[in-house]
Amino acid sequence: MKKITLLLSLALIYVSAQEMAVTASGKQVVLRNDGGWEYYDPQRHLNFRDVRQTGPKISIEIRYKDYQYYYDEVKMMLEAFGTSEKELQDSLQRVPKGGILILQTPTVGLNLDDPRRYIYTVKSSTGQVILQKKGSEADAVAADQAGLSDLAVLELKSAPKGDIIVVVKDLTTDMDFEYTIPIRN
């Protein structure tokens, strides 16, 4: 009887120590302590305890376009539309000297029925706040890449002197996500 109890205790410890993950293709797998894995099978894993976080998930990709790149992009687009020389020059003068940061998220992850609200904070590598902006998933617009939406476009008034730190505070869950953007000068 003691052997059976000991075996059951060891089995429970083994099962509760495993974790679940999702592959890039969306399949669920069970990660074992020994470094191995197997596909999740609900019949086989009846007593499996799912320890994954069940709260809202956020996936943000940040793209930086420096001044010259963005200037050339705006100029090419306006010339393609046949914009007058005066309108072209006016538009090019408004291109932010520090470039732009584009915060994108997968469109399928947007919750427009109950949109998450964010505060975007851009800091220098020394921690000095460069700019801060509020936004929401409701403000998202279709991006130039299929399947992505732009949450925010942040204009930098001056060229960064080093790496940029972007902090996204999700006001819905009160969680902060921090990203470091390497800048080549």
| CATH code for residues 61-181 | 2.60.40
Q: In what order do the strands lie in the sheet with 141-142?
A: 61-65, 100-106, 148-155, 141-142
124 beta partners: 164
Q: What is the pLDDT of residue 42?
A: 66
Q: What is the mean pLDDT of residues 81-104?
A: 92
Summary mean pLDDT of the chain: 79
3-state SS of 79-105 is HHCCCCHHHHHHHHHCCCCCCEEEEEE
Q: Which residue in 104, 48, 96 sits closest to 71, CA to CA?
A: 96
Residue 73 has pLDDT above 70, yes or no: yes
Q: What is the pLDDT of residue 119?
A: 93
Q: What is the mean pLDDT of residues 169-182?
A: 85
Q: How many residues does the chain have?
A: 185
Of the chain, the end-to-end C-alpha distance in Å amounts to: 71
Q: What is the pLDDT of residue 52?
A: 46
Q: Is 70 helix (H, G, I), strand (E, B) or coil?
A: helix
Q: Which residue in 177, 183, 185 sits closest to 164, CA to CA?
A: 183
Residue 19 has pLDDT above 60, yes or no: yes
Q: 36-50, 104-118, 122-136 — which is least confidently predicted?
A: 36-50
Q: What is the pLDDT of residue 84?
A: 92
Q: What is the pLDDT of residue 3?
A: 43
Q: Which residue in 142, 139, 135 sits closest to 107, CA to CA?
A: 142
Residue 28 has pLDDT above 80, yes or no: no
Q: What is the pLDDT of residue 2?
A: 44
90 close to 84: Cβ distance less than 8 angstroms: no
What is the tens place of the pLDDT at every residue in 107-116?
888 888 888 8
145 close to 104: Cβ distance less than 8 angstroms: yes
Domain extents for the chain?
A: 2-39, 61-181
**% of residues, the chain, pLDDT over 90:** 34
CA angle 175, 176, 178 (to 5 degrees): 155
Residue 50 has pLDDT above 70, yes or no: no
Q: 56-60, 92-96, 157-161 — which is least confidently predicted?
A: 56-60
Instruction: List phi, psi (to 5°) of 177.
Output: -125, 130
pTM value > 0.95: no
